[in-house]
Structure 1
């Protein structure tokens, strides 16, 4: 290749504010004169090569070109050479023995042409432009002509303040000071690295979109959605009563009408439909907010709370906390919609396609109750796709995605809707200060053998032995990675220092967070148990910890409930099952357990294992959280509507099958055994076949089951006994099922034109009547056809105390009522 060809052929071109800077291999015969002049200038003294002759510079460039561990480059701006760059392999050149080189490390030296003596000929900003271009060149893919670096490595003299400032501006991070010898000269160098992310975030990079989902178009939609939900739910809880404004269509149930809400300084106007149980469905696009001076004001959910504060009466010392939880919910709504619009999160059609996929055959022989491997994989995949796609959170609560304590990177790693995978961290907790409670059919050895591989158990034992500790003195406790980073080494520093807690490292299996955020589903081996861990973040009215003391009884309670369910022929015929929490572990050796009063710090180191539903499903069956039935995607399509459409059965038949699987067993448990569950959307797993609900699994038994009659139960199961009268017992269905789930589902089906509201509630009534007809001998005073029932209000609980909505030990007395509601299935 001729010298003229070299001058016009570039390897890589980087844009700069001064124009494109083109890099090409240095050619000694062409470039030695220019480089010699630069080296001889006083500004280049750091190179220690100012005394070389032109021939010696030529030979130096030739030696670099001949060495496969380093390369020389000339950068030209408008055809004029302005920089000489050396790139090298730091594992083989200069830094051998002082730098722990990683794959993709590219060492770099930089020599910028000295500024011309004529001030008018100088180009302001040249060194910044050159530095930016050189780092881009080092990090750019080789296919684009760059050096393909993962990190750029430099080792400037610590006394060179100018280059230190320039490196910092490009995003270089100083790792440490090292002694470097080059050409017989030794210097103390500031060993520094710069990654793609470091450079992008630097002043010389292009900038990083730290939170790209926080933008106006997504905010507008999220604000309107949350304002619509807030007005609907707070009106449902009778905190105010919107009035008809005379617009809209004719009167009638479920018809869109115009309403207004006049407040002290503003008026909200909107179109809404109303349904049974005082259920409101607002059209978010119709909402306007107008000042009393006639000015249009932005629709903003945070401003709505401040506008409503005279009615809401949130305690002033908790108002900011509530607004922060609502802000986090707003941010999550924007992020969810962004992912849906970009196609990362599947829309309803894709989700339902996964839930209705035909059975996959396996090549190997299987027992009848087992999945072929491919069908099992499909079931787990569609199950978790639906779990991560939820955009609403709790259908009743406004501030339902608070997660106070998570940073943005934490949110991206650990929020359920991100669908990410994580590995649990493991602690060894000294047995003398810990407990392990087991179901009757479990053993310690069996639990750990099932949940940890032989390699993991051997590694953990070896790590304890290496510290001079006896593995037999410890229990293994799984910890959320956030908790392991933010709490274990800080809040429990003393416990770690005295080896009461030993950090063992991460486990092998990958998990995905469920909607309840601290419950993890095993993605590596889906047949293994769920793991529920403590997580010291504030979310929806509670710090999301787990109490070791409270969980001691959990396996025994689950055993008792499971025996009752398995021994009841009606529940078995309905296919109703429970996912047992069959082991719990907790650490109590910390100082927080020795304070006079209980505190949240006592709930930071505990875990439990819950059965996975996957081993209990047959080939062709699919799983979905019941919360998914209330999900609408970014286009407004409802998952339940699509399920009905593709199922091939009528809406009547679909709803009847769902009620038979969900409502009928709950009614039976209450009427036959005074047994009440907490059957909201996240606590039920639906088992579907061909898009139709066939049966359900109930979970979260230990914390949320209650026996509502005065009956003797063995210790420690007696904790769940909470006698109430028949009217309050009926609220286990009225509040948690009718008001908490079915009113939302009925509204979706009615608005979508799938099933009229009257017909929906008629089917509910038929389900209740069928149970009564099939069990005439049950001696129960619970009347689910009563004319009215007490109106229990969830948001009022959170507004009263956003830090702790209810006392888990006495939930009944913590409730807030707002009169009564008309029962949509009351006797006519």
Structure 2
């Protein structure tokens, strides 16, 4: 190559890419200068597919000139170290060659490639050059125009189906064959394998840069997640008395950090040591970074250090845990899924995609718009400027959902709490609550004679659908039914989770769809965000509208997450009864306590699974309910948060509750007192005055905050988890919630679900963070109980919440006993497992 040629190539290059063979550059073809080179390649027998072997240099010059003059196509010369190695044509397939056989999409770039024939001398051949050129050409076609590329979204090729070598090369670059088409070019007709390659296709291909499908599964995140879950497993399973670590005064002669004690747990062949602080209710707070796992060796010399691995920990603990052998793998899979989710959650927060505790608190303490008066709690919302009120509601909804998606822990007691068995990685990315994504529910028309719709007293069928579906949606659904010759009046509309609609509706219920009992209608208009309970959706398009809870046939935390149509028939009636009781109680009213009613439930029962001799999980796959949103019941300046957030620590170890207390400017004791007044006091009153017990764990309570302080609370998940613990008379539709027990077991509704399930964790966080000592915390709990008793001397209740101790009900033991179904929902009391008694931290001294 002459010096002049080298200089021209450097000036004309528009794109360059490094390869294993060196840098490849792309320049517009120069017909006058480049025709001899290209003609020599075309004349070679290896280039027969171009049908130009008989063209002379002048013919090729004319051909290249015609390509250059056509604004729908371009010719490019590819050079390696300034030596020509390939000729490329790019074209618009909507205007050139494929107009009759390809439905071109915006961003399609057609491509033809001619690689210089290999030298006759094998020693002169450069191995891997064709792969390097192919990779560079696809990169060129897909690269942004600003970077010198062609800006394509897809590359389109149409090689002869008989050309096996190019078919293999295309496949290596990620091309997918759409089908065979007849293509005529220059008088030659061929059967072509019409193929396309997207950016994602190419990136994932052997010739692409490669794609890490799970970038969160990396060693640093795994080590943190293993240690976090190992610390939780050691703490919670010790709390449930499945084993007993011992204080280790001889392991290294030192005590733990931060006032902690060094503990030791000897297992078969392995020893764990760690720093822990212990609190009342046998609550353990273990420092994950302090955990050391060693193979058992000579005690003086020490054993071999082993990595901390929570899966191995469970396997090593199996003699103590006694998980049934046939279910051990299922539990380990749920734990592995929890581990993967922990890595993903931490990755998102460290990258800034999830706000930290300070960012969440900033939203929860933000004032109402409209000046100082905007946050006046006594101000009538009707007096607020409509624009300010709309903005206030928007802020409340956004903060509410930001908090919901930020939760990194899951259930505070269960170790394997993010099983989600059935989700693929794309499913996880699309539907996991911590991803904070949005989805559209899929709707199906269910034949009315096989479907029920249960409604609250103040609801009607038309009112429900008019509110939840726009006029355009209802018209479209009716048209789609009519187009199939079906009468829309003969159907009810049922929302489905997208996963359920894809994995269950067309397969598990194929026969029902085929006979028209179920008619898929497509997605609705509104976008929803999954909540921590995973199958409950919050409406992001219209946040004032209802939550939608749907069946989701994945295995998660000891249950297949379905919804029973039969069980839900009574749900609205139960919710009405509970809401009437709560609304009619002056004490609950003054505490601001309310329930979010489940006011409609629908379920399909026309499938064959409902006609089998025994109940089965398949009967719980096509059902939904609608629950009230708390947003319309907020006043200006009030913010919403799941109560689970009070137990949340961010990736930096900062607790949201600690940040809230500090941001509020309120004395910590006063802050806790306000929280107990909103949470504990109403629950105690419901139990002592009405024998009414809820399932008041963190995700079942929505807290209402103002200026960072809890003011009141809403209870949800009423239909499945409320119980009347006495023989009181109940309406027929409500009778199933009666579960009479003695006074000692009634008290467990507070002792187990509140003291042990929530408050011991909260007290530990506040104590470890130096916000409020545990003695003071539990003294405030005792004051709350005493105040309720003093204010209601006439209540005839045998429930003694100041008893010296109470039965120790163990949650993980339930899951370890049966990882597929922890309890019988129809008889939860008899399913419980106890491990002796716990000393009541507010028991009489």
- Is this a same-fold pair by TM over 0.5? yes
Residue 368 (structure 1) shift = 4.3
Unaligned runs of 5+ in 2: 298-302, 375-379
Deviation at residue 264 of structure 1 after TM alignment: 1.7
Taking structure 1 as reference, are residues 254 and 770 closer, same or farther at Cα in structure 2, changes over 3 Å only? Answer: farther
Q: Distance in 1 between matches of 2:383 and 2:598?
A: 26
Q: Does 1:361 align with 2:364?
A: no
- Match of residue 727 from structure 2: 710
Contact 1:269 1:287 in 2 (8 A): yes
SS in 2 for 1:73: strand
Query: Where does residue 225 of structure 1 map in the other structure?
Result: 228
Report Cα offsets for 1:553-595 as digits up to 9, x if no partner: 0000000001001000000000001000000110001111110
CA distance 1:722–1:642, change in 2 (3 Å): same
Q: How far, CA to CA, are the matches of 1:368 and 1:246 in structure 2?
A: 67
Q: Does the aligned pair in 2 maintain the 1:249–1:256 contact within 8 Å?
A: no
- Look up the match of 1:346: 355
Separation in structure 1 between the aligned mates of residue 180 and residue 460 of structure 2, nearest angstrom:
53
Distance 1:729 1:179 in 2: 78
Distance 2:349 2:611 in 1: 48
For residues 82-121 of structure 1, the aligned pairs below 5 Å read 82-121=85-124
What corresponds to 1:324 in structure 2? Answer: 333
Match of 2:265 in 1: 261
- Is residue 490 from structure 1 mapped to residue 499 from structure 2 by the alignment? no
**Deviations along 1:361-382, whole A, 9 cap, x unmatched?**
3999962488711111111111
3-state DSSP of counterpart to 1:803: coil
Matched, 1:186 2:189: yes
CA separation in 2, counterparts of 1:515 and 1:250? 41
Deviation at 1:266, TM superposition (A): 1.0
Q: Matches of 1:250 and 1:694 in 2, distance apart?
A: 45
Instruction: Tell whether 2:248 aligns with 1:239.
Output: no
Q: CA deviation at 1:255?
A: 4.0
Secondary structure, in 3 states, of the residue corresponding to 1:489? coil
The 8 Å contact of residues 579 and 611 in structure 1, kept in 2 or not, is answered as: yes
Alpha carbons 1:686, 1:695 under 8 Å: kept: yes
Is the Cα–Cα contact under 8 Å of residues 592 and 599 in structure 1 kept in the other structure?
A: yes
| Contact 1:170-1:205 at 8 Å conserved across structures | yes
Question: What whole-Å deviation, never above 9, does each CA across 1:734-773 have from its counterpart, x for those lacking one?
Answer: 0000000000000000000000000000000000000000
Partner of 1:7: 9
Write out per-residue CA displacement over residues 758-793 of structure 1, whole angstroms, 9 at most, x where no aligned residue: 000000000000000000000100000000000000
Unmatched runs of 5 consecutive residues or more in structure 1: none
Indicate yes or no: 2:656 matched with 1:639: yes
**Pairing of 1:355-394 with structure 2 (within 5 A):** 355-361=364-370, 367-368=382-383, 372-394=389-411
Cα shift at 1:529: 0.5
Distance 2:593 2:164 in 1: 72
Mapped contact 1:620–1:689 kept (Cα < 8 A): yes
| C-alpha distance in 2 between matches for 1:680 and 1:720 | 19
Matched, 1:570 2:584: no
The answer on 1:48 being equivalent to 2:51 is yes
Normalised by the length of structure 1, the TM-score is: 0.98
1:19 counterpart residue number: 22
Q: 1:272 to 1:249 in 2, by over 3 A?
A: farther
1: CA distance, partners of 2:741 / 2:96 = 79
Does 2:295 align with 1:280?
no
Tell me what 2:479 maps to. 462
3-state SS, counterpart of residue 128 of structure 1: helix
The number of equivalent residue pairs is 827
1:692 partnered with 2:709: yes
Q: Distance in 2 between matches of 1:26 and 1:392?
A: 60
1:134 paired residue number: 137
Q: How far is 1:7 from its partner?
A: 2.1
- Partner of 1:545 in structure 2? 562
- Summarize the Cα distance change of 1:299–1:816 in structure 2 as closer, same or farther, 3 Å threshold: same
1:254-653 equivalences under 5 Å are 255-293=259-297, 294-361=303-370, 367-368=382-383, 372-653=389-670
Deviations 1:134-192 (A, max 9, x none): 00000001000000111101111111101000000000001111111112222111111
Contact in 1 for aligned 2:275/2:287 (Cα 8 Å): yes
Counterparts of 2:485 and 2:142, CA distance in 1: 46
State how far apart, in whole Å, the 2-side matches of 1:799 and 1:641 are: 33
Q: CA deviation at 1:276?
A: 0.5
2:744 equivalent to 1:744 = no
Cα deviation for residue 436 of structure 1 reads 0.5
8 Å contact kept, 1:3–1:30: no
- 2:167 aligned with 1:164, yes or no? yes
Query: Residues of 2 paired with 1:416 and 1:668: CA distance?
Result: 33
| CA displacement 1:638-676 (0-9 Å, x = unmatched) | 000000000011000100000000000000000000000
Deviation, structure 1 residue 252: 13
**Cα distance between partner residues in 1 of 2:71 and 2:556:** 57
C-alpha distance in structure 2 between counterparts of 1:541 and 1:227, whole Å: 19
Structure 1 residue aligned with 2:40: 37
Shift of 1:6: 4.2
